[in-house]
Structure 1
Amino acid sequence: MPVFVLMYIWLTGDFQTIFGVNLKDTPTLGSKNTPRLLSEDIMSGGFEHQVHQNHSVFLYQGDSEEFYVGGTDFVIKLDVDDYHIIEKYSLKTTQQKQCQKGPCENVITVIEKFQDSLFVCGTNRLKPQCWTLFPSVNNQSHEIVESYVGIGISPFVYTQNSLSLTVEGDLYAAAPLDADGRSLQFRRKAGSRTNVWMYDNWVSEPTFISASWVERKDDPDNEKIYIFFREKNSDHSPEADPWISRVARVCKVDEGGSKRFFQNMWTSFLKARLVCGFPEESLYFNRLQDIYVMHAENWHDTRVYALFTSSWNSTAVCIYTIEMIEEIFENSTFKGYDKDIPQPRPGTCVKKSKGLPRATVSMVKDYPEMTEWVHSLHYTAPFYISSNNYTKIAVDRVQAADQRLYNILLLATDSGKIHKVLEAGSEPLIISQTQLSNSSAIQAMKLDSKKKKLVVGFSDKITTFDLQRCQEYNTSCADCVLARDPYCAWTTSGCTPTVTGGIQNIMNGEISVCSTTEKESQRVGRTKRETVSPSPLNLRTVHSVPQNVPFYLSCPIDSYHAVYSWEHGSHISPCLQMLSNCLHLIPSMAPENYGDYECVSKEKDYIRVVKRYQLTEQRIPEEKIDNQRYNIPCTMNDASALCHQIVWIVILQVAVWRILR
């Protein structure tokens, strides 16, 4: 190892650049903490913006298949199948013509279906405005019927924090009340019910992440709206995290207090700390980043998937149920309060909140925080931890061939990737990583669970990511089963979207489920349960190479959960990973280096030969050997950049080999 480090320092800065940059995001072979499969899908097809967007917002309702996109000065309705524009509406304001300085655009920040119309809000050149858009008579475009002041619904600039939610004809929103971004609170802003808002002392510099209505069909008067946010920590000690993540709730039927006390204020607001981390070590991910709520028929089973980041550059996913959250709100003591709790209990939903006793409302006003914390389903640790910087999360529920339901986490990174993570038992499995863009981060994404697609928005484009990418595991039954992808099953047609009777093993990926007739031919000298690819043994690439020159062999990495090795006679050498290739480097060809080579991968009990080579000796005159010494062939379909890197590595290995010899 010291020799290698020394030789690395001797080489030029050019080597360091080539060797380092491209390996940055490459997974480590054999590690279960990295994606099993890497794929490239650099935004083919979709809708291209004429001008790059700094911010975009989606409204996508899978049932109606209506898909609206809001950008700078426009709202468009797209056909999500072929991305042609169905309707387009320009929302440039007349003030923009006179704009001399400052943000002159109208960046759309809110699109909601509200009271049978399309409700749109934007920054409107630092004067937030909202519009109601109705279909015109010919039903081909929209027309503005009314406009409203948008303060408290849309931020003044798109970078400010905001959120919106519509529930049964009522609009809930959080947005700054002044241009500097302060006075941020969650309010019922419009609709059939009374407008209500928060008491300023309830939160400290909040960043609202998401709000969700959880329906109770058998008890609608007890329905709540849950608000997920982070706020500044009141503990300013050096070891304390600056942020605390929270879940709060308000009752849908809450109309505020009486005229004499707490009028137009939430009388049901309660909040609790949302914990994700390692409680036994007092180590927590405290910065809530994104939320996805997976609704269930029974409200108790509704799941909350929360994405957190930490001060040590890691991200985590923790999972909660509404039942767990309700348990804290219904039974915890109130932080800082040690007297008898008044009746009805603070936070109770009542249809006539204006008639609540003053003692109950005073408790909400002065002691809204629960003493106990909301812990995750897995309690002692997050469900999933990663060094990737995830920014968004969605979760799809998939019925596999065994008729069981499995959840798939779709995580967007800050570098334009989508990770597909299987939730099956307590152990996550990163099924795949797909690079959707090399140039921009994902601004918005919406899941279409019915069509099994993810609609993704970038600054320059909107595209669709197909979740049923079964062709990527189509080499064999074993390859399809090892993927453990509930979207895909092995059938007589290959690895295809899941159908009843297809072959899968989602829980552990054991290939024993592949029938004998579908297993590949067994390899001589190996156990019966170990199999290889169906390629005939004599199908090999032949290279004629002179003695005393460096040479390399390469085979593609099909699974990063496999272990690769090179076999040459009775000698087995480990794989040298370079990007998505497995290399075998020969510093200087000698007689013992000629012969047959096999690149072999092993994943669980599945062993296969990925590639075969035969090296034969090329006879050349002695005087030409020096000129051939570093003539490393790059004829194996490798990219030129990869070949360039391999040249450097071979030169380095030759130098090290000479020193050691």
Structure 2
Amino acid sequence: MRPFVIIFIWLAGNLRLVLGVILKDAPTLGLTNTPRLLSKDTVSGGFAYQVSQNHSVFFYPEDSEEMYIGGTDFVLKLKMDDYRVIEKFTLKTTGQQHCQEGPCENVITVIEKFQDSLFVCGTNGRKPQCWKLFPSVNNQSHEIVESYEGKGISPFVYTHNSLSLTVEGDLYAAAPLDADRSSLQFRRRAGRRTNVWMYDSWVTEPTFISASWVKRKEDPDNEKIYIFFREKNSDHSPEADPWISRVARVCKVDEGGSKRFFQNMWTSFLKARLVCGFPKESLYFNRLQDIYVLHAEDWHDTRVYALFTSSWNSTAVCIYSVGMIEEIFENSTFKGYNKDIPKPRPGTCLKDSRTLPPATVSVVKDYPEMNDWVHSIQYTAPFYISDNNYTKIAVDQVQAVDQHVYNVLLLATDSGKIHKVLEAGSEPFIISETQLSNSSTIHSMKLDSKKKKLVVGFSEKISTVDLQRCQEYKNSCEDCVLARDPYCAWTKFGCTPTVPGGIQNVMNGEISVCPTSVEGQKQVNRTKREIDSSSSVNLSLTAHSVPLSVPFYLSCPIDSYHAVYTWEHKGQSSPCLQMQSNCLHLIPAMAQENYGVYECVSKEKDYTKVVKKYQLTQHMIHTMPESNTPKINDASAVALQTVTIILGLAVAVSTN
């Protein structure tokens, strides 16, 4: 027996074991609670750092042509169409003599548009500092003007918790006032209005996640700023979760109390518990991870998408409306307060908050927490639950062919992937998974809804993801419609970005909308019986000549992980051996009954198609000539190619 045949037989016996290892992290075929499509290297453009960054922030106004990136000791201004560096601002630590421990570096933590300049703050060697970058004039570079100390705006160390927000010329921030992380609270820190801060007892060891200004065009004096955070639970019993997730609010016009009582303190601060889970079972995802606020014309309809993790290694997305949040703040009783509620009600916005009566402000001071909890829109369960460890969320709105606007969740995993999840009805639909990096996690994420792009920051690079990658569903109208991707519709040019008149069914993915569905059904019927080489099915046939007794395998690509794949041969069906993005059919040793036509058939909902078609014929091995070097014939080439592929798979598994 020739050496390659011996290798083949050994591999045939171990292929299932190899496949089992490879499939450990791959989605299971036929399940709709996993991504329908897996993509790799689907980024358009990007910028690579010269030195990897442990922390980076970027400022990127939607639909802008430019983006500012803050790293260690620098701010870059990039042109977004080609990621060309327009300007570089060096912001090294000032007064390095105060550096006591660790590297004396200035990690940029804040970039905001503030008043007439770009406002930049950094750790500045554990002595937070802020600068203003004024726009260039007459082709001159930006002018950097040192502003003032950055305590309470930038943390002392980039790993410490912080956030910032600008509202109508005012700067709001949360960052520790001391290097030991103490005095962490949400403040109005600079701007036209009075600086205002929190009362010390309002929060316990908080981690601030996000802050958002919700406009009210008809009533601007009643506009609120919502703060999302988690804090330590005062209940220390073993069964209690160590964290409680919160939503708080303050009035935009709040100037603090009178000189006699609560001066420079928020007079409108209220907080409530933000819950996500199963109320009937008292099972909750309590650790808030990230927030995305989707603003609406009517402030009541503004939606809050909240990403939570749990103690049992699962993540969830719950959806809230600002109207529902306000309902709690305006009607709930105050936790621990048993007297008559004074008027005006605590938390009321007044143009001159200094005139609020002491009785109203006293309730805010001592009893800021609401008795009632803020539940999600679904109430009985989260909108989406997953075993993936998601770290960031963004939500885009897409107008489909049916003129309905659909929301698409963009979720970043801790392994460098983006999941695109459709919100259509009560059940989430996971459109796709895109692998952006194999080596690092996602630091930052910014959605450009107008351009339909997602900008993603890693330690080594910044990448742009095109959300309209319709060419991935290019095979047919049915494939395009089954994707249920509101960014894409079937037209005479194929699967293209959604345009009026295109073919689409985002809500259900029903292929009956396709004009070729009748012909498609004819093909379905043909696949139920053996099709020989003279068949007229419009699919290329791949022929292989294989000797008796050698192992052999066939492969076809997986177009959808929601489909079920089978191999059809002489009226018999056998299941697919899944290997990442391929379906295999393994023949341990070729026998006479193994020759003939094989079809790889996929079935998703009501759509069945032949993905790949093979014909195997017997190859006669000629007698080896009397020579020390065997001739490599067709069978040998096929066998050696298969050995190479399977060995390559084994190597790939061992290195990942």
Q: Describe the SS at the equivalent of 2:523.
A: coil
Alignment partner, residue 180 of structure 1? 180
Please state how far the C-alpha of 1:136 moved relative to its aligned partner.
Answer: 3.6
Structure 1 equivalent of residue 575 of structure 2: 574
Match of 2:278 in 1: 278
Superposed CA offset, 1:393-438 (max 9, x none):
1000001111110011011111111111110111111101111111
| 1:487 paired to 2:487 | yes
1:584 paired with 2:602, answer no
Tell me how far apart the structure 1 counterparts of residues 536 and 132 of structure 2 sit (CA, whole Å): 63
Separation in 2, partners of 1:112, 1:641: 53
Q: Which residue of 1 aligns with 2:164?
A: 164
Cα separation, 1, equivalents of 2:256 and 2:148:
24
- The alignment status of 1:611 with 2:633, answered yes or no, reads no
Matching residue of 1:451: 451
Q: How does 1:428-443 map to 2 (within 5 A)?
A: 428-443=428-443
Q: Distance in 2 between matches of 1:506 and 1:258?
A: 56
Match of 1:549 in 2: 550
Question: After superposition, what is the alpha-carbon deviation per residue over 1:294-343, rounded to whole angstroms, capped at 9, x for unaligned?
Answer: 10111011000000011111111100000000000000111111211111
Distance verdict in 2 for CA 1:245–1:137, change over 3 Å = same
Secondary structure of 1:334's counterpart equals coil
1:142-191 Cα deviation digits (max 9, x unpaired): 11233210000000010000000000000000001111212100000001
SS of equivalent residue, structure 1 residue 209:
strand
1:612 aligned partner, one-letter code: K
1:179-225: CA deviation from partner (whole Å, max 9, x where unpaired): 12121000000011111100111101000000000000110110000
Distance in 1 separating the partners of 2:313 and 2:16: 25
Q: Find the aligned partners of 1:127 and 1:542 in 2 and give their Cα distance.
A: 71
SS at match of 1:426: coil
Does the C-alpha gap of structure 1 residues 570 and 536 become closer, same or farther in structure 2, counting only changes over 3 Å?
A: closer
Q: Which amino acid aligns with 1:182?
A: S
Question: What is the alpha-carbon distance in structure 2 between the residues aligned to residue 403 and residue 41 of structure 1?
Answer: 31
Instruction: Tell me the TM-score normalised to structure 2 length.
Output: 0.91
* 2:137 aligned with 1:133: no
What is the Cα deviation at residue 622 of structure 1? 9.2
Cα deviation digits, residues 514-560 of structure 1 (max 9, x gap): 114895472273599xxxxx993573111222222222111111100
Equivalent residue, structure 2, for 1:361: 361
Judged with a 3 Å threshold, the aligned counterparts in structure 2 of structure 1 residues 504 and 620 are, in CA distance, closer, same or farther, namely same
> RMSD across aligned C-alpha pairs, in angstroms?
2.8
Q: TM-score, normalised by structure 1?
A: 0.90
* 2:595 alignment counterpart: 594
Give the whole-Å Cα distance in 1 for the aligned partners of 2:142 and 2:643: 53
Q: Structure 1 residues 97, 40: closer, same or farther in 2, change over 3 A?
A: farther
Q: Helix, strand or coil: the match of 1:325?
A: helix
- Change in CA separation of 1:188 and 1:34 when aligned onto 2, cut-off 3 Å: same
1:197/1:265 contact within 8 Å kept: yes
Contact 2:511 2:517 in 1 (8 A): no
**1:598-652 CA-partner distances (Å, limit 9, x unpaired):** 000000111100111111122236999xx9999973647995655448999xxxx
Deviation at 1:48, TM superposition (A): 1.3
- Say which SS state the counterpart of residue 146 (structure 1) adopts: strand
Once the two structures are superposed, the pairs formed by residues 636-651 of structure 1 within 5 Å of their partners are 643-644=649-650
* Cα distance change, pair 238–535 in 1 and its aligned pair in 2 (3 A): farther
1:588, CA displacement in angstroms? Answer: 2.0
CA distance in 1, matches of 2:486, 2:137: 45
Q: Which amino acid aligns with 2:454?
A: L
Cα distance in 2 for partners of 1:279, 1:233 equals 19
What is the CA–CA distance in structure 1 between the aligned matches of 2:536 and 2:104, rounded to whole Å? 63
Distance 1:100 1:288 in 2: 34
Distance 1:134 1:587 in 2: 71
Secondary structure of the 1:187 match is strand
Find the aligned partners of 1:16 and 1:260 in 2 and give their Cα distance: 78
Contact 2:65 / 2:81 at 8 angstroms: preserved in 1? no
Counterparts of 1:214 and 1:556 in 2: how far apart (Å)? 47
Aligned to 1:244: 244
Q: Is the 8 A contact 2:481 2:490 kept in 1?
A: yes
> Cα–Cα, structure 1 residues 501 and 451, in superposed 2: closer, same or farther, change >3 Å?
same
Q: 1:234 aligns to what? A: 234
Residue 620 (1) aligns with residue 621 (2): yes
Q: Return the structure number with greater relative CO, CA threshold 8 A, min gap 6.
A: 2
Match of 2:501 in 1: 501
Q: Which amino acid aligns with 1:481?
A: V
Secondary structure of the corresponding residue to residue 586 of structure 2 = strand
- Structure 1 residues 395 and 636: alpha-carbon distance in aligned structure 2, compared to 1, 3 A threshold: farther
Give, in angstroms, the shift of residue 121 of structure 1: 0.2
Letter in 2 for 1:214: V
Q: For 1:638 and 1:450, how far apart are their aligned partners in 2?
A: 47
1:476 and 2:476 correspond: yes
Checking the alignment, whether the CA contact within 8 Å between 2:563 and 2:603 is kept in structure 1 is yes
CA distance in structure 1 between the aligned counterparts of 2:507 and 2:380, rounded to whole angstroms:
22
1:633 maps to what in 2?
A: 639
Residues 162 and 175, structure 1, Cα contact 8 Å, conserved in 2? yes
Tell me which residue corresponds to 1:5: none
Would the aligned equivalents of 1:401 and 1:500 in 2 still touch at CA under 8 Å? yes
Secondary structure of 1:478's aligned partner: helix
| Residues 374-393 of structure 1 deviation map (CA, whole Å, 9 limit, x = unaligned) | 00011111101111111111
- Following superposition, the deviation at residue 95 of structure 1 comes to 3.5
SS of alignment partner, residue 633 of structure 1: helix
Q: Is the 8 A contact 2:19 2:579 kept in 1?
A: no
Give the distance between the partners of 1:172 and 1:504, measured in 2 at CA.
44
> Is 542-551 or 17-26 further displaced after alignment?
17-26
The CA deviation at 1:66 is 3.6
2:571 counterpart of 1:565: no
Number of the residue aligned with 1:371 = 371
Q: Is the 8 A contact 1:478 1:519 kept in 2?
A: no
Mapped to 1, the partners of 2:652 and 2:50 lie a distance apart of 41
CA contact (8 A) 1:18 1:645 kept: no
Matches within 5 A, 1:115-130: 115-130=115-130
Q: Which moved more, 1:493-502 or 1:635-644?
A: 635-644
8 Å contact kept, 1:87–1:140? no
- The letter for the 2-side match of 1:404 is H
Matches within 5 A, 1:100-499: 101-499=101-499
Whether the aligned pair in 1 keeps the contact of 2:30 and 2:564 (CA below 8 Å) is yes
99 and 269 in structure 1: CA distance in 2 versus 1, 3 angstrom threshold: closer
Cα 1:524–1:457 change in 2 (3 A) is closer
**Alignment-mate amino acid for residue 353 of structure 2:** S
Question: Hey, what's the Cα distance between the residues in 2 that align with 1:340 and 1:538?
Answer: 78
Question: Structure 1 residue 591: deviation in Å?
Answer: 1.6
Aligned-pair identity in percent equals: 77
Q: Tell me the equivalent position of 1:90.
A: 90
* Distance change (3 Å), C-alpha of 1:219 and 1:519: farther
Q: Show the counterpart of 2:61.
A: 61
Aligned to 2:532: none
Distance in structure 2 (CA, Å) of the matches to 1:535 and 1:441: 49
5+ residue gaps, structure 2, are: 1-9, 529-534, 626-631
| 1:16-95 → structure 2 map (5 Å cutoff) | 22-41=22-41, 45-95=45-95
CA positional deviation for 1:578: 1.2
Distance 1:443 1:394 in 2: 14
Q: CA 1:397 to 1:437, structure 2 compared with 1: closer, same or farther past 3 Å?
A: same
Cα distance in 2 between the residues matched to 1:253 and 1:613: 72
Contact 1:207 1:229 in 2 (8 A): yes
Q: 1:348 to 1:216 in 2, by over 3 A?
A: same
CA distance in 1 between partners of 2:98 and 2:644 (Å): 56
Q: Kindly tell me the number of residue pairs found equivalent between the two proteins.
A: 631
Partner of 2:6: none
Instruction: Say if 1:546 and 1:21 are closer, same or farther in 2 by CA, change over 3 A.
Output: closer
CA contact under 8 A between 2:558 and 2:581: conserved in structure 1?
Answer: yes
